[in-house]
Structures are given as C-alpha cells and as structure tokens.
Chain A
Amino acid sequence: MNTLIINNLRELEAEAIHIIREVAASFEKPVMLYSIGKDSSVMVRLAEKAFYPGKVPFPLMHIDSKWKFREMVEFRDHYAKENGWDLIVEYNRVGFESGIGPFTHGSKVHTDIMKTQALLQALDKHRFDAAFGGARRDEEKSRAKERIFSFRDRFHQWDPKSQRPELWDIYNARVLKGESIRVFPLSNWTELDIWQYIRLEKIPIVPLYFAKERRVIELDGNLIMVDDERMPKEMADKASMRKVRFRTLGCYPLTGAIDSEADTIEKIVEEMMTVTKSERTTRVIDFDEEGSMEQKKREGYF
C-alpha cells in the first residue's frame, strides 16, 4: 500500500501551487512581484513547478527602490536570466530624479515614494489585475487576518473591515475593471517552513542571508551595512567589520543586520529557533508608528 500521508511542507507546496494556477487561469494579466528575498525565491520556485514542463505564463516584476543591496540586484538579474523568466524592473522615475533616498528624506518618505508609489505606478502602467506577493500571515500581526486573495479597489486600497470571506480552497477571482487582487500563496507558511523548503529544494538565495564579515555601522540600535558611497561620509567613516547576516532584505539603509555566525541554512535555523525576536524587528519601517504596517497596506503597500 502506498502512503496517503502528505507531510506539512508538501501540503503547503500543493496549496501554493493550487493558488498560483488558479490565478493564472482566472485573471487576464497577472504578475508575480519579486522582492529578491527568501520568500520571493520560494514563491518563484513554486510558480516554476506549477507550470512544469511549461513556462510560467506571467512575468516577474521587481520594484526597484534604487536603494537595494547591490548583491540583491546582481542576484535578481542572474536568477531571471538563468531560469528564463520574463523580468520587469520598475522604479519611480520622478522620485529617483528628485534624489529621494532614506538618508536625505527619512525612511517614511522614501518608502512611500520609492516603494509604495512606485508599485502603484507600475501596477497601473501594466494594467495588472492580479499581483502575487510573498507575504506570510505569521510575519506580522496585521497579516494574520489577510486573505489569500486580497481584494484591492481601483486605488489599490485595502479595507481590512470589508474583506471577502474566503472558504475552503475556493477563491473569488472576480474583479471589475481597474480593481485587482493581491495574492499570497505563502500565507500559511512560517519562517521555518521557508527555510526548510529552501533547504529541501536547494533554492538559491541572496548571499546576504548568510553570515560574513561585512562593513557595518550602528544606527539607532540597528546594524546598517555600508553598501555604496551614497551613505553619508560621516556615517560611513564609523563603519567597522563585523560578522553579520540579514534576516530580511530591503533597502540597505533601512535593513538592520544581526551579529551572527550562521553561514549555512542549518545554522540559520538553529539561530532562528533560539532567537526570540520576530523577524520583522530588523526592518526599520515598522517602528515609525503603531500599526504602521497596517497603514502601509491600506495605502497599497504589500
């Protein structure tokens, strides 16, 4: 008798693939948002599997805030080329030309213009009616109640109070012109599941996740890496070499590193199991104000 038991990882995988296929079959113009992070890497692999041996029927899109770690951009271009992905890279031209950046304008303005606004512009420009995101419910409190198919109005706004009920594995894919759906195939995955899957499937990830000697400065309790010459000189001058790694990846001036010796997935998991801080604490944007992630989501951020 063959086994009829599915382990948790394969069950989550099947669920995610079902979701990805459902979107491909139900929407006219879906896109997969690619943040180059570990969750995105898992999501992208799931999409590849969902349509194997065919090609994924939608493109990848990266919203480049122009302040990403250089290693992320390299990784992105390499991965897309290597795996035959149709990659769209968009950024906020006006913002970029006005020189918006976290050092000069602060994290709030930078995130709003170079991330949220850039994303909304790109979604409008391409008229995408469904956008995949790699968010997980266990990441942050406001995500615990987010739907897998999360409805957005014409202004890309999320209304947490009037979310569509979501039952079984039957997803409501109906939208009117201009409205859209954000889809989160990894909703039910935990951070450990992501690492497990990366390990199991040998999914390549940006090397920044692994501990290495890096040039960092201490800024308001965060370890910020000196990734390019745009960091003000007086700050960069204080940098020192420390063995650090990143638990999440974003704009380099807004993403704190942690002291770590973990240079393999096993060691990362070990570290994760024994470190009790939740992973988003290394993201500077969350501290702006109470409920700030929820606020950003309402405004259209992922």
Chain B
Amino acid sequence: MNKETQTLADIQLFLDQDQKKDLLRFLTAGSVDDGKSTLIGRLLFDSKKIYEDQLSALERDSKRIGHAGEKIDYALLLDGLKAEREQGITIDVAYRYFSTNKRKFIIADTPGHEQYTRNMVTGASTANLAIILVDARTGIITQTRRHTFLVSLLGIKHIVLAVNKMDLVEYSEEVFNQICNDYKDFVTRLSIPDIYFLPLSALNGDNVVENSENMSWYKGKNLLNFLEEVHVVSDRNFEDFRFPVQHVLRPTLDFRGFSGKVASGIVREGDEIMVFPSHKKSRIVKIIGTEGETDYAFPPQAVTLTLADEIDISRGDMLVHPQNQPRAERQFEAMLVWMDETKMDPYAQFFIKQTTNTTRARIDQILYRVDVNTHENGECETLSLNEIGRVVITTNKPLFFDPYQKNHSTGAFILIDPITHNTCAAGMIIDKMNPTELHSRIVDPETRRLIDEGKSLINSNELKKRYHQKGITLWITGLHGSGKNVLAYTIERQLFDRGATVVLLDGSTIRSGLTRELDHSPADRAEQMRRVAHVCRILNDQGILVICSFISPKEEIRQQVCEIIGKDRFHLIYMDATLAYCRENKPELYKKAEQGDLQYLPGINETYSIPKQPQLKLSPDNLKQNMDTILNYLQNQDIFPIE
C-alpha cells in the first residue's frame, strides 16, 4: 500500500469515527477577570491542535503554525461584534465550536457583566453542563452564587467549578480545598446532582488540556478529559413520551403524518397513543425518521408518525402514552425570568409559546421575586429586566406540560410581548395550581357570560361569607318628626359596632347631590325614591346592608321601591307616631305648612298612607326597645349576623 492510499484509508477511518461522536453543549460563566476568555481561547486552540495532531502522522510534511512564544490575545479571538470590540465587553451569548477525538462541543459563552441573567439563562437553556469560573485569589463571591443559582434554576445537572489562576496562589492545595468547601456549603441548598472541582491555570495551561505538573496533589481529570467523559445521555427524559405535533403532513389523500420532535420518552411502532386535548386513542403505524422508517424514536429525534385511525389532530396537539399523561391545565405556577428592557406590565395579555403551542397568557399573581445574589425572596409588584419571580399564569387554552424539573422540553415556555413581539420572558413551569387557590384574570366562557350580562363574578354566597350578612334594605317610613332619623342613625351605629357592613341613606344625603334638582312635589318625590331604590339595589347586590330613612308617604311609591330592590330584600319599618307627637318634635315645620307657607308636607297638605303590612311597626317612645326589636328581627330573619 502506498502512502497516498494509506492516508486516504486513515481519513476515511477518521471520518467514520468522527461522525459517531456525540455532542456536548456547555456553558461558561464568569467574568473577564476570572480569565474566562483565556480559558475558552485555550480550549479552542489547544484542542484544535490536538485534533489536528491526529492527522499529523499522515501529514508529517505539512506546515504547522508555531505556537511557541506566540502571544495570543484570546479575547480578540472570541469577541464577535463591532460594538463589543469598541466597548471592550461581551454583551451577548456567543456560540463556539470545537471537537476532540472523543466528542464535539458547543460552548455557549456568556458574559459575566451586563445583562448577565438574560444571557446566562439563554445560554443555559440549551446546555448540559456549566463551567463556573472562580478566581483562586478571591474564592466564592456573590457572582459565583448568582451563576450557580441560575444554572440550578435552568436545571443543568452538571457543574464544573473551575478554580482558575491557581498559579497566583502558588498552586496551593489548601486554597483549593477551602474554596471547594465554601462552595459545597452553599450549593447544598440547590439541587445540582453532579459537581466537579477542578484547579487550573488557563493562562499557563495547567489542567486545561493536560494534567498539571505544578499540581501533582490533584488526582482528578483535567478539564478537557472531564468534558470528554462526563456522562450526559441519561439527563434526557426517556420515561414520559411526549410528542408535540409540529406540522401535519398531507401530501396525498392516503397519507397523513404528524411531524415533530420527540420531546421526551420513547415511542415504538405499534404503541397505543392518546391525543391531547381530544383524549382520542390510536396506534402508531409508522415512524419515519431521517434515515427512513424506524422501529422506535427517542429525543431529540425529529420524526413523522402515522396512526391507525383517522383522528383530527393539528399543530399544538400532543401525542402521549395513555398510561402516562401530562398535565393539561390553564393555570400553573412558574419561575419567570424577565428579559425585556421594558418592565412587566402585570395587566398585559402576553403570547405564550410552549412546545408547539401558542396562546394568550396573563400573569395572575407575582408570588415573590428572587434575589439572585442572596437567593432570598421578596415581595414585588412587577418584574424588570433580569429579575426573576415566581408567578401564577393563566392561559387562554390549556397547555400540555410537565414540571420543568422533570421534563425540560414540556416545562419550558417563553412570553412574547403583545405589541412589540419581543421575547420578553423565559419561564419554567413548577406545577399546576390548585384550582381553588386563585381566581383567574383570564376569562373562561362562564366568566365571560357573567361579565357580558353585567353580573358580578362574586356570588351572593361568597359575599355572605365575607360580610356575615345578607344584603338587604331596611326602609324606614313615617311622618316628619316621627323619629325615623334617630332610629336610622342609632341602628347604623349599633350594626357597625356588631361588625356589619352598613350604609345609611336619608333625605339630606340624597338631596345634597344625587337628587339635587328635585323638589318635594309628588312627581319629584317619586323620582327621588326611584333613584334611591336603585342605589339600594346596587348596594344590596354587593352584600351591603342599607338603612333608608325616608317619609315615602304613598303606598304606590313604597310598592315601586319594593319592586326595584326586590321583595325578599325590602324590609319595611313603620314609625308609628301620632301627628301630635310629630308636631311636638318639629313645631316650626308643621306650623309653616299649616299656615300655607310650605307645600307638600305629608299629614298636613299631602296624604300619608299608613303601610298596610310593614315587617316592623315601632313606636317612637322607646329607642332601646326599638333597637332590640330590629336586631332580633335581623337575627331571626337570618340577615345579620350570619356565622
């Protein structure tokens, strides 16, 4: 075999092996000061060198660039955009690619400074592993805690705590151990199953791609070895089959396929499946993968499924195994990371996108905001850029989801601003809400109906429970000077003292505004009573006890009032006082009327018709007794108090 054929065979072998490698996506967190750029630069550079060395056997003659003594500005190698170069900071997530003999890697390089939360969350959303950089001289600092918290929030299961700049602490094992212990102390509160501690010096290359001779006390793997070997396949959810339908394929009359990505779980030919939201069942006939038909599919494969039965299925529907169903809810709790420059408008209706489903969503409640530095919770009204909160969300139609910690693919969502269409938040579903806990601000059909009909969403039973009373009207009628107002004001006070929620309406309060333009003529008096009756009705609807003190001289007027307020809510009290008693009480008034200086005074120049069947008939002499009568009456009628 000549050299060229040998070379070609080697290349073929290399390519065959290369395409079998798996892919590891990881995130790097830390600031420029921690030497992050240097570390990434070195990984990219040194691994490329190693990678190329694979071929060096066949390429002995090939020219190679010399590394020795060459000073490389790694940050320049990495920074992408002009604006960043000018400002000297990395402002956005940048993706880098490199390979070794064992694996391919995608680095999400996230800046430590500005907008750290937004960028870190973005980078972490697609990562299996995070490298958190710590400066050996400073140890665990606020920033480290912040990075770790965000990594755990996004459910990343593997962390490498890279203690960098070990050269500046004389490669001290003690310093390293101290930092590891500090980190362990605080990280136990977060659920991160796999943490690897690694001392290194990115600048000098200690433990980056080669084990350091300067730290012979360190018996672990170097960074690249660790990245090559860390086991991440089992991080994927292979338990719960979820297939969000992305696209319906109907190329011919006899073919109907449902395309999408297997979000989680495994699906096999012949499996019984159930469709959400219809709950209809069928069987998998064919699984068409990218290499043709296949017996089974698993995440993250993109496939097309055909079913045994003709079921109406569209984008946004989800296929699952009937014995393992997702939540199908309109309301859930979630952790929300706010990503928009504009702070959250808690009253806006957002678009929510989760799997292949898009619908409307509202924030019902912000339960608390998390301080990413201290991990403490605080109250808040809204969320601003880079803030994280626990919220309750209601959607217009049900979403099919699992808690994010169990299933990233079905537990993640984004919120889209309804006006700008920016992606304004990233969310991770915690779980569904207990339906009794909250009243939604998103309207379901029943609520819509009530609102359209102008009916309160609070029903009378809820009001009764809240106020311990029934909303009724005590309507006190009687002549001028019969003691109505004394009775009305006293009973208001007494009821209030006993815990009732009560409103008093009498002539002076009403005439000062609501019926300002009306006089005492029979027609105007009727109009005044009509208005008062409507006020009573509104207040009674809200569960309020109303006390009215009006002469209301005519039976027809009282009848009309009773009809407006409602028969079962209208309770008439008649102050049965003689004309003589009244005249004694209000001598001036009666005198005026008798002299003809005053029109329309009931009992004098206007008829007062005595109520035929009042609920209570009271005599004005004994106020205390009257009180007891009324209070007893309210209690016996089960109006107030209600336990």
Q: Inside 8 A of A5's CB, which chain B residues have their CB?
A: 22, 233
Check A176 against B249 for contact (C-beta < 8 Å): no
CB distance from A30 to the nearest CB of B (A): 12
Residues of A within 8 A of B233 (CB): 4-5
Q: Return chain A residues, CB-CB under 8 Å to B21.
A: 7-8
| Chain B residues positioned under 8 Å from A6 (CB to CB) | 22, 298, 300-301
Answer yes or no: B126 CB below 8 A from chain A CBs.
Answer: yes
Instruction: Give the interface segment out of A49-57, A59-67, A73-81, A108-116.
Output: A49-57
Q: With contacts A172-B353, A267-B11, A274-B59 known, is A167 near B426, CB below 8 A?
A: yes
Q: Give the shortest distance, in Å, between A87 (CB) and chain B (any CB).
A: 19
Q: Is A279 interfacial (CB-CB < 8 Å)?
A: no
Is B416 in contact with A266, judged by CB distance below 8 angstroms? Answer: no
A-side contacts of B95, CB under 8 Å:
137, 144-145, 187-188
A184 CB, nearest partner CB in chain B, Å: 11
Contact B12 A168 (CB under 8 A): no
Once the chains bind, are A174 and B82 in contact (CB under 8 Å)?
Answer: no
- Among residues of A, the one whose C-beta sits closest to the C-beta of B96 is A144
CB distance from A197 to the nearest CB of B (A): 8
Q: Check if A145 sits within 8 Å of B8, measured CB to CB.
A: no
Query: Of A172, A264, A274, which contacts B55 at CB under 8 A?
Result: A274
Q: Residues of A contacting B249 with CB < 8 Å?
A: 51, 53-54
B416 adjacent to A174 (CB under 8 Å): yes
B65: interface (CB < 8 Å): yes
Given contacts A11-B300, A172-B353, contact A50 B259 (CB under 8 A): yes
Is there a chain B Cβ closer than 8 Å to A89's Cβ?
no
- CB-defined contacts of A2 to chain B, threshold 8 Å: 295-296
**Interface class of chain B by DSSP:** mixed
Residues in chain B near residue A294, CB distance under 8 A? 81-82
A157, CB-defined interface residue at 8 Å: no
User: Does B212 touch A at the CB level, under 8 Å?
Assistant: no
Q: Which of B65, B80, B94, B122 has the most CB of A within 10 A?
A: B80
A17–B423 touching, CB < 8 Å: no
Spot the interface stretch: B179-187, B406-414, B473-481.
Answer: B406-414
Q: How far is the CA of A138 from the CA of B104 in the complex (A)?
A: 13
Chain B neighbourhood of A203, CB < 8 A: none
Separation of A243 and B425 alpha carbons in the complex (Å): 54
Beyond A145-B81, A274-B62, whether A7 also contacts B97 by CB under 8 A is no
Shortest beta-carbon distance, A69 to chain B, in Å?
27
B395 CB–A CB distance under 8 Å: no
B259 cross-chain contacts in A, Cβ below 8 A:
21, 50-51
**A196 and B80 contact, Cβ closer than 8 Å, known pairs A21-B247, A166-B122:** no
Give the distance to chain B from A137, nearest Cβ to Cβ, in Å.
Answer: 5
Cβ distance A163 to chain B, nearest Cβ, rounded Å: 7
Q: Which residues of B contact A174 (CB under 8 A)?
A: 351, 416, 421
- Check if A154 is an interface residue, CB within 8 A of chain B: no
User: Which of B92, B236, B266 is close to A145, meaning CB atoms less than 8 Å apart?
Assistant: B92
Does A95 sit at the interface, judged by CB under 8 A? no
Is residue A94 contacting chain B, with contact meaning CB distance below 8 A? Answer: no
Task: Provide the B375-416 mask, 1 if CB < 8 A to any CB of A, else 0.
Answer: 000000000000000000000000000000000110011101
Binding site for B on A (CB under 8 A): 2, 4-15, 17-18, 21-22, 24-25, 49-55, 137-138, 141-145, 160-161, 163-170, 172, 174-176, 187-188, 190, 192-193, 196, 199-200, 264, 266-267, 269-270, 273-274, 276, 290-291, 294-295
Q: Can you show 22 pairs from A to B with CB atoms below 8 A apart? A: A4-B298, A6-B298, A10-B301, A12-B23, A13-B290, A14-B302, A17-B290, A21-B259, A22-B356, A53-B251, A144-B78, A160-B83, A164-B422, A166-B122, A167-B414, A170-B353, A174-B351, A188-B106, A264-B8, A266-B8, A270-B7, A294-B82
Residues in chain B within 8 A of chain A (CB atoms): 7-8, 11-12, 14-15, 18-23, 51-52, 54-55, 58-59, 62, 64-65, 78-83, 85, 91-97, 99, 103-104, 106, 118, 121-122, 125-126, 233, 236, 238, 246-247, 249-251, 255, 257, 259-261, 266, 288, 290, 295-296, 298, 300-302, 304, 315, 339, 351, 353-356, 408-409, 412-414, 416, 421-423, 426
